[in-house]
Structure 1
Amino acid sequence: MTSIDDLPAVPSDQTPPDQEPGEAGRPAGVRPRRVLGKLPRYAAGKPPVVVEGLESFKLSSNENPLPPLPAVLEAIAAETSVNRYPDPMTTALRTELAGYLGVPPLDIVTGAGSLGALNQILATFAGQNDFDAPDEVVYAWRSFEAYPISVGLAGAAGVQVPVLPDGRHDLDAMAAAITDRTRVILLCTPNNPTGPVLTRTEVVDFLERVPRQVVVVIDEAYQEFVRHPEAVDGIALYRDHPNVIVLRTFSKAHGLAGLRVGYSVARQELTEHLRVSAVPFAVSQVAEHAAVASLRHIDDVDARVQSIVDERTRVVDGLRDLGWTVPAAEGNFVWLALGDHTQDFAAKAAEQALSVRAFGAEGVRVTIGEPTANSRFLELCRGYSHRPVAG
């Protein structure tokens, strides 16, 4: 396991090339916090290149290929009071969610996407405490690439625990990584970008090894796509575990990624603190009304999600028929552990007007997109000579 503190810092006496030294040899101008020099840059999925004669498809950002439901688009068009601030408590959305999830409205705190909700959690429970060493946040790696950025910006130290060869969390190693400085643990299920879920049994066992004062965040951004019969359900779990916080979002299943609507669910002894760190007006009234409308047509949302799950099954079966080894895929994406061939595969995909998400020399994540895009992706794999190195 590694810590973000192990990364090299930007030397304090290094003068940026576009600045001249000031008096006494000091660099002129404003300088950012040193932690920024230790953090990776978030790399959003790139749009596809234009290839003559081919329709382009973006399979790099785990976006829902389907637009919002017609009723949701109507709700968006009907919202005209954008000259007014939104309800800071997002009362209508929390009330709707409370009925849908079967939880008290006070257990819900909304945010700008699940990432915004996560940042509120980190700001509340982990960071730099006066003159003490920074708090620690334990999470699997590779996992959601925003984790090290958010943890570092909160002032905490990230402790990365490598995933197992099949892309699953190594919960034994994560439990062993807990110290008296650990304040938050992040569990991503299904894990982005590798795909497998955590089961209820293994998470319950893990929680028994976590001190009660440590917050355990169950990040379920792709929960609606899960079909594993023994997958953990964070909402069911938080009722029995006061230190559990569940993250969910409207970005994926509901197709509202551009409106930024997410939320956390936790016991009220935690949400009372989360509301202090919550960003005021983080969810616009347009986003709130769209999310409410989507929840009120949840059967239609579920049908669309099932169509994507069906395509995911077709893609995974197709890859395995080609002899490719891929981890269990429970989100709206598949993971190809291509190692040193990662960038080459991404370039080959671009030649076919497909944008995919390449992670260094580790692997490629490919979103389940339109059927035509998925078929073209499978054809690319059929003619590609290198196979994933693990899965």
Structure 2
Amino acid sequence: MRFGINLFPTVGPQEKEAWRHFDEALELVESAERLGYHHVKTVEHYFLAYGGYSPDPVTFLAAAAARTERIRLVTGAVIPAFTHPLQLAGKLAMLDNISKGRLDVGFGRAFLPDEFEAFEISMDESRPRFEEGVEACRRLWSEEKVEWRGEFFRFGPLTMLPRPFQQPHPPILVATATTPESCTAAGRAGHGLMMVPSINKREKLQEMLGLYREGRAAAGHDPDTGDVHFSYGCYLADDADEAYERGKLYSEYTNGKLLEAVSGWSRTRSEQYPGYEKIVERISGGSFDTSLAEDKALVGTPQQVVERLGRIREWYGDVTISLQVISGNMPYEESARTMELFAEKVMPHFAETAG
């Protein structure tokens, strides 16, 4: 198993100034490299406390690249629906060069109605815009004199500059929340996968992973080599009661920010997002204790987290784990301590399968 950190902000100006958030997040990036983590990841969201401090993951990851030498940089994820593919492919290729080939590009469809409304884009177009954007970027990276005549964009023939550092292009990951068809499509295309254990039952995740690996095999890709990322809220302390109490506090805080962000689904319906009209109800009905009992959060003492990860590996195999170490407006010192305890007392138990 490989482990990295996911710097998903859930704060606004009332809780923390933006400059302080970025200063602390970049300090955590430096610590992650020093402690031997595999990657650092961040998100693309807009104007809401749920992720809004990260409207452009490329800008943040470029700063992270300047402070590090080894750690992988992952967009988790960029949104093709909101950016022209010429611009998106170009700035990602630029980051790939700045980092000397340390970039993994995660693409996502987005799911918040308020963001689609702000960009004046229909949610019913999200899947075709996503598919067109990913394929256009892939071709711009790997081909010359690209001519594109799609449903949403038309350009070329042209050759994009700069060319990516990694050839033929940076590794591609596809984010999926609940849609099995996305897993099959990602597998057939030979892409990696980013999944969200916190919102799915174990059996559903196993089914989706099976479809992904079947898709890879059917297209001639090794079904066991696809990179699969899972993100988990993470809080460690040597004292079990402290870990539980603080982990619960930050989890419920994050849940509140998520509820605010998805409130638009109370007035929105889209065939591209079946079942999302019930998302507010599902999130409201969840509980930290249930999440912990189902190993959907990596909270506890180091030994408790080792045991949780052991079960996760039994269920899903050697997936790549992203630790959400700042969600819930955790104080910097507690985020840093969680990372240190995890690196010193948890990661060694999984060293035999580390990348």
With structure 1 as the length reference, what TM-score do the two structures score?
Answer: 0.27
- The structure whose residues are more often helix, as a share, is 2
With structure 2 as the length reference, what TM-score do the two structures score?
Answer: 0.29
Q: Larger radius of gyration, structure 1 or 2?
A: 1
